[in-house]
């Protein structure tokens, strides 16, 4: 079995709508390294798209899951509940930046988390409208796609979408949108499309993920807080990608003084096992009638066991602090490369170990084709990288927080060599 034969088989049996960033097929993985079916080793700077903050197959997670497999794998929490669901909810309620008593419900995917957060907000406010932001990503299911602020590839030919979802420009230094620009757009929205007392919630990523790792202006959330107070609109923080120590805090919202009403979580919560959830203010969470929330696989006991171990690892190994160290290492290297003559790099940004930068052409314009090429060349050299951004021009780094300095340096050496080669090619062309 080799990568080519598997790729050919994939084309016959898997729809093209499921895209893969690479054509390598994994055989095994440890911490921040992956080996493909042909035995080739890769350094993992993708982290399963921010799922593997604690790395591949962390021994504590494997041990916790093995113990749970020896007990039972499924009962459905709605039929016969189990202690691990309760214990995980208790721990998240204590950790989450929520004002007052909190409650948590578990699901399976990030899209389930964002959609259920909206469902809860609508039930609590008795309003239907949702305001999201351009460039935001909230999932691929129909309501989640409607909230996602990017047409290609998520929305093309998939409409009509659920109504009462509106978008504002996302204010950050790297989007070229100011907070005042966002407020002006909001005034137009409230004047022309929907009155504020029909809006149930704002849904926003504390740092945009798929949209390009854009960090908002510090005052952005203060403005949302004032709008929340003035109009009775709830605030949903989509922490699916930013959560669980990635940005140097357990939750990225901890970088801000305000506290959201609801938080959607997933990805690194369970170290590679499918688990998502919504954490929120108790009185808001209790707005949905009994039976209105849940799912057959929601809060899997195996995934809950993994998640409890993940929280232990983050605490015991100081991964929030480690994220700051890793981010410093990466930003220092990329920053030095961006300062060199003829650099293709612009817009270095991020918090903690959630780092991205843009690839630009000689005129300083976004160069998505070259960003894709750089990721492909890095893979050929043994480094897994992902691109992102509205135009696909950004390269993001999501290395596991458990990776050693030596492994990170090795990966950055590969990245530097590829970037340098492309800078030379751009100068010649």
Say which range, 57-66, 112-121, 420-429, has the weakest mean pLDDT: 420-429
What's the pLDDT tens digit per position in 159-216? 899 999 999 999 999 999 999 999 999 999 999 999 999 999 999 999 999 999 999 9
**Which tokens is 187 given?**
């005034």
Whether 27 shows a pLDDT value over 80: the answer reads: yes
DSSP assigned state of 360: B
Give the pLDDT score at 1. Answer: 85
Which of 71, 31, 137, 48 minimizes the C-alpha distance to 304? 71
Strand partners, 28: 35
Average of pLDDT values for 55-66?
98
Measured CA angle at 189 (ends 184, 191), to 5 deg: 95
Asked whether the bond before 153 is cis by omega within 30 degrees of 0, the reply is yes
- When comparing pLDDT for 361 and 1, which is higher? 361
Q: How far is CA 257 from CA 134, 173, 220, 252, 340, in A?
A: 24, 20, 11, 11, 37
Chain region(s) in the chain for CATH 3.40.640.10? 62-316
What's the pLDDT tens digit per position in 321-349? 999 999 999 999 999 999 987 899 999 99
Average of pLDDT values for 76-102?
98
DSSP assigned state of 126: T
What's the pLDDT tens digit per position in 222-268? 999 999 999 999 999 999 999 999 999 999 999 999 999 999 999 99
Chain region(s) in the chain for CATH 3.90.1150.10? 3-54+318-428
DSSP assigned state of 135: T
* Residue written as token pair 């998505």: 368
pTM for this entry: 0.97
DSSP assigned state of 214: P
Give the pLDDT score at 33. Answer: 98
**Three-state DSSP class for 5?**
helix
What's the pLDDT tens digit per position in 363-373? 999 999 999 99
Q: Report the alpha-carbon distance of residue 355 to residue 365 in Å, rounded.
A: 20
What percent of the chain stands above pLDDT 70?
Answer: 99
Give the pLDDT score at 158. Answer: 87
**Three-state DSSP class for 84?**
helix
Whether 148 shows a pLDDT value over 60: the answer reads: yes
What percent of the chain stands above pLDDT 90?
Answer: 94
Give the pLDDT score at 428. Answer: 53
Whether 25 shows a pLDDT value over 80: the answer reads: yes
* Residue written as token pair 């609109």: 233
- Mean pLDDT (the chain, rounded): 96
First to last CA, the chain: 40
Tell me the backbone φ, ψ of residue 424, rounded to 5 degrees.
-65, -40
Q: Do 418 and 396 touch, CB atoms closer than 8 A?
A: no
**Three-state DSSP class for 276?**
strand
CA dihedral 244, 249, 252, 258 (to 10 degrees): 130
Measured CA angle at 163 (ends 162, 167), to 5 deg: 105
Average of pLDDT values for 373-396?
96
Give the pLDDT score at 394. Answer: 97
CATH code reported for the domain at 62-316:
3.40.640.10
CATH code reported for the domain at 3-54+318-428:
3.90.1150.10
């Amino acid at each position: 079995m080799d990568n080519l034969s598997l790729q050919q088989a994939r084309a016959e049996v898997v729809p093209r709508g499921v895209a893969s960033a690479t054509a390598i097929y994994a055989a095994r993985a440890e911490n921040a390294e992956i080996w493909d079916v042909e035995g080739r080793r890769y350094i993992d700077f993708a982290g399963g798209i921010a799922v593997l903050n604690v790395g591949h197959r962390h021994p504590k997670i494997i041990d916790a899951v093995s113990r749970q497999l020896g007990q039972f794998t499924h009962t459905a929490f709605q039929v016969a509940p189990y202690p691990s669901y309760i214990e995980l909810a208790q721990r998240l309620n204590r950790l989450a930046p929520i004002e007052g008593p909190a409650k948590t419900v578990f699901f399976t995917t990030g899209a389930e988390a964002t959609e259920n957060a909206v469902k809860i907000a609508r039930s609590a406010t008795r309003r239907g409208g949702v305001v999201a932001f351009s460039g935001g990503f909230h999932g691929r299911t129909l309501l989640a796609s409607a909230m996602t602020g990017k047409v290609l590839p998520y929305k093309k030919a998939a409409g009509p979408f659920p109504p009462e979802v509106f978008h504002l420009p996302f204010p950050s230094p790297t989007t070229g949108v100011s907070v005042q620009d966002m407020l002006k757009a909001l005034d137009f929205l409230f004047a022309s499309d929907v009155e504020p007392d029909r809006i149930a919630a704002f849904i926003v990523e504390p740092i945009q993920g798929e949209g390009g790792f854009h960090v908002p202006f510090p005052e952005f959330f203060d403005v949302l807080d004032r709008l929340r107070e003035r109009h009775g609109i709830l605030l949903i923080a989509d922490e699916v990608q930013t959560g669980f120590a990635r940005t140097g805090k357990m939750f990225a919202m901890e970088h801000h003084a305000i506290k959201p009403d609801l938080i959607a979580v997933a990805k690194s919560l369970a170290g590679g096992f499918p688990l998502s959830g919504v954490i929120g203010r108790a009185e808001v969470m209790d707005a949905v009638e009994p039976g209105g929330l849940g799912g057959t696989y929601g809060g899997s006991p195996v995934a809950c066991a993994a998640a409890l171990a993940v929280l232990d690892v983050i605490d015991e190994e100081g991964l929030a602090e480690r994220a700051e160290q890793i981010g410093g290492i990466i930003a220092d290297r990329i920053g030095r490369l961006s300062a060199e003559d003829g650099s293709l790099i612009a817009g270095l940004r991020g918090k903690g170990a959630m780092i991205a930068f843009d690839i630009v052409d000689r005129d300083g314009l976004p160069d998505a084709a070259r960003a894709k090429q750089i990721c492909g060349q890095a893979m050929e050299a043994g480094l897994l990288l992902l691109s992102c951004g509205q135009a696909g021009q950004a390269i993001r780094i999501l290395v596991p927080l458990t990776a050693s300095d030596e492994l990170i340096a090795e990966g950055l050496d590969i990245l530097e060599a590829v970037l340098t080669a492309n800078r030379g090619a751009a100068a010649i062309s």
